[in-house]
Structure 1
Amino acid sequence: MTIAPQRVVTLHYVLSDEQGAVLDDSRARAVPLEYLHGHDNIMAGLERALEGRQEGAQLTVTLMPAEAYGLRNEALVQEVSRAAFPMDDLTPGMRFQTPGDDGPQIVTILEVASDTVKIDTNHPLAGRTLHYRLEVLSVREANRAELAKGHPLPPDVDPSQVEDRKVP
């Protein structure tokens, strides 16, 4: 079966940076990535590269920063009050997920002073060229519940028990 919109794709990937350092490897975690093609579950550049591929396909994809996590925006580096953090033990490099204007965002602590904390709300991979090695393990039609939810459902979920909504 060919990768196309409304199909669930299962794949393994290795993500590396410009120097070839491995940043993530689905095989190392023994958990392949499963996504619903055409529903913005993964980066658009990866979806474009996978479109039309079939089970067993292996490919390498390079995404420039603008196609991946965006360019770094220095306006997203700012100082905030130390009181904004509920814990006392803050160290540079710590990361938190917080609600943002466009959904969840990752906040990285850069510096900690007595009254302020310098944070960076750029994605940790913003501004970086990313290299993916992909292997398509399977492609299948999405069921109605997955289309309604906009993402694959775990195998133990009964699709008939998922609240139905009109599928566009």
Structure 2
Amino acid sequence: MSKITEQSDITLHFELALNDGQVVDSTFEKSPAQFSYGDGSLLPSFEEMLIGLEEGQEASFNMSPEKAFGMRNPNNIQRMPRSQFAIDIEEGMIVSFADVGKNELPGVIASIEDNEVEVDFNHPLSGRDLVFRVKVLKIGPSE
């Protein structure tokens, strides 16, 4: 039986959930995910958990914030002038910004005051313990 290696093409179902069971993302009710190990589809720490799994095998992994999306960084929370926003905004809304290199950078509106808006650029799952569940459907050698 083939096992996942760093040279594998992988087809699997996955679920990402918070410790309280709230599902953040899942392919179990949709088409499975297909990717080549190391192609950037999954975070490296998530891929490492897959090494050695066999076709048909199911597994569940507890992922600490350090292994998942990192710890929350207070430096990623920025205060901006309210006048910089040409759209109607609400707390919790995700707004797209462009960084210096013109890359899209999503930020969550954390708070709105008369003259200032606080925007949180941390990944929404940063600082969270997660449960990563997989069912390996197919393993093949990468081309």
Per the normalisation by structure 2, the TM-score is: 0.85
The structure whose residues are more often helix, as a share, is 1
Tell me what 1:15 maps to: 16
CA 1:138 to 1:86, structure 2 compared with 1: closer, same or farther past 3 Å? farther
Shift of 1:101: 7.0
Per the normalisation by structure 1, the TM-score is: 0.74
Corresponding letter in the other structure for 1:119: V
Question: Comparing both chains, which one has the higher relative contact order based on Cα–Cα distances under 8 Å and sequence gaps of 6 or more?
Answer: 2
Tell me what 1:25 maps to: 26
Tell me what 1:139 maps to: 139
- Count how many residue pairs are aligned between Structure 1 and Structure 2: 141
- Give the alignment's Cα RMSD to 1 decimal: 2.1
Tell me what 2:95 maps to: 96
Corresponding letter in the other structure for 1:116: E
Mean CA deviation greater in 98-107 or 56-65 = 98-107
Could you say what secondary structure the match of 1:125 adopts?
coil
Equivalent residues of 1:4, 1:38 under 8 A apart: no
CA 1:19 to 1:91, structure 2 compared with 1: closer, same or farther past 3 Å? same
Could you say what secondary structure the match of 2:48 adopts?
helix
Could you say what secondary structure the match of 1:46 adopts?
helix
Measure, in 2, the Cα distance between the counterparts of 1:35 and 1:47.
Answer: 11
Measure, in 2, the Cα distance between the counterparts of 1:41 and 1:21.
Answer: 22
Alignment of structure 1 residues 1-168 onto 2, 5 Å: 1-28=2-29, 30-87=30-87, 89-100=88-99, 104-143=104-143
Corresponding letter in the other structure for 1:93: G
Mean CA deviation greater in 48-57 or 35-44 = 35-44
The structure whose residues are more often strand, as a share, is 2
Measure, in 1, the Cα distance between the counterparts of 2:78 and 2:100.
Answer: 16
CA 1:99 to 1:62, structure 2 compared with 1: closer, same or farther past 3 Å? farther
Structure 1: state its 5+ residue gaps. Answer: 144-168
Corresponding letter in the other structure for 2:51: E
Equivalent residues of 1:92, 1:109 under 8 A apart: yes
Corresponding letter in the other structure for 2:134: L
Measure, in 2, the Cα distance between the counterparts of 1:8 and 1:125.
Answer: 27
- Work out the percentage of aligned pairs sharing the same amino acid: 28
Equivalent residues of 1:10, 1:34 under 8 A apart: yes
